[in-house]
Structure 1
Amino acid sequence: MKILVLISLGIVVFVLLVLNHEFLLPGDQAGTVDGWLGFSGGLLGGYLAFISAYYIYRKQRHDTVRPILIIDEANNLSGNMLHVIHRDLNVDAIQQTGTKQVPIRIRNIGLGAALDIECDGSSKYKLFYSLPDGYGNEVHESFVLIGIASGKDEVRDLLVELPTLVEHAEPNIEFTLAYNGAYGQRYTVTAQVLIESTERITSEFWIRTIKRT
C-alpha cells in the first residue's frame, strides 16, 4: 500500500512539472506541451486501471478465505459460562442470582478461519468470564476466542439476567462480536437474545443473528 501511495505522488509531481514546464524548465524542451500532456494522461489512465485491477484482485482474494460467523441456539449446555452485562455498568455489577443459562453456538460458515474473536467496542452488552484468583475471590476477564476454523463451532452458556428477577434487566439483549480474517480484514456479527418475561428460571428464550458486516 505504501508503494502505491509513493507511485501516486510521483505521477502527480510529474504531471505538475509538465503543466508548469515553461516556468520550471526554461529553454528548449524535448516535445511540446500538448505531447507531454497526452503522455501524462496515458500514464495516469494506465495507473488508474492498474489500481482498479489491484483492488478487484485483493477483494476476490479476501472473499475466497472470508470467515462468516453466525450465532444461534445450541442444543445442550457446555459448562463454559459467560456473564452478560450492559456496557454502561461496571463489571462488579455482575449478578450471581436471578440468571438463566442460555446456550449459544458460534458457527463459522465461511471459507476461512475466524481469528481473534472478541466483543466489539460498539457492543450493547459485554461478555465476561468469572475465574477464581486462588484467594477465594473471582476475577472477571473479557470474552476472547483465538479462532474458529471453517465449518466448526464453539458453544458457550450465557448467564442472562431475568427481567422480573433482576432490577434494570431487559428482555432483549444484543451483543456484537468482532473478528479477523486471514488477511487482517475486520468483520462483526450481532446477535439478539429474547427472554420471555416470567419469573421462572425455565423462561423460554430465542436467539438469532440480526446483522453481519
Structure 2
Amino acid sequence: MNRLQELRGTQAPDQERARRGILRSMLIWTPAFALLTVGAVYMMVDALGGNGGAWFGFSLFALIGLLSGFSALSAFRDWFSEPIETTGQVARKWRKFDLLIFFRAHYVLVARRVFRVPRLMFDEMPDRGGWVYINHYPHTNALISWRPLGEEERPRTEEEAERAEADAERSRDIEEAWEERRRERDREAVQGRERVDLPTFGDGRDD
C-alpha cells in the first residue's frame, strides 16, 4: 500500500480503534487516579500532623489526581455512550511531545473540541479554515471517522448568513415594489375604462 492509499484510508470509519483508545484511557487513568488519591490523603494527614511542607505535596497530588479522575470518568462515560457528529472549521493544528506515550502527538481543534489524531490523518486533514465532518465519542473525543466538507455541504458562517438574509430581504422588497406597481397599473386601467363614455345608439327612423 502506497502513502496515498494510506492517507485515503484514514477517512474510513474505525470504531474498533476508538474503543481501544477509550479502554486504554480507562486502564491508564483509573489506577493513576487511585494512586494519586492515596498520595493526596497521605500528604494531607502528614500536613495535619505538623509537617507544613506536606501541603505542597498534597496540592500537587490533589491537582494531578483531579485531572486523572476527570480523564478516567470521561473514558468510562464514553464506554457506554453513542458516538456523536461534529461539523466545523479546523481552528488549529499542532504537534507536541506527549509524556504518556513518549512520542510526538498530533492534535486538531474543531468546533472548540480537541482531537488527538494519528499522524497520517493529521497530514491529510485540511489546514486552518478548512471544513470537516467528524464522527467521535462525546467525552474523550475519541475519533471514529472524518471527511472534508465540500462547498455545498458546509454550513454558512455568520457573515454569510447575514449577507444571505440581507439579499433575501432586498429581493422581497423588490417583489413587493413590483407588486405594488402592478396593482397601481391595474387601478389606472380600471379608472381609465370608467372615464370612457361609450356611445349609445337608439332606434333611428327616417321621416
TM over 0.5: no
- Structure number with higher strand proportion: 1
- Structure number with higher helix proportion: 2
Greater C-alpha radius of gyration: 2
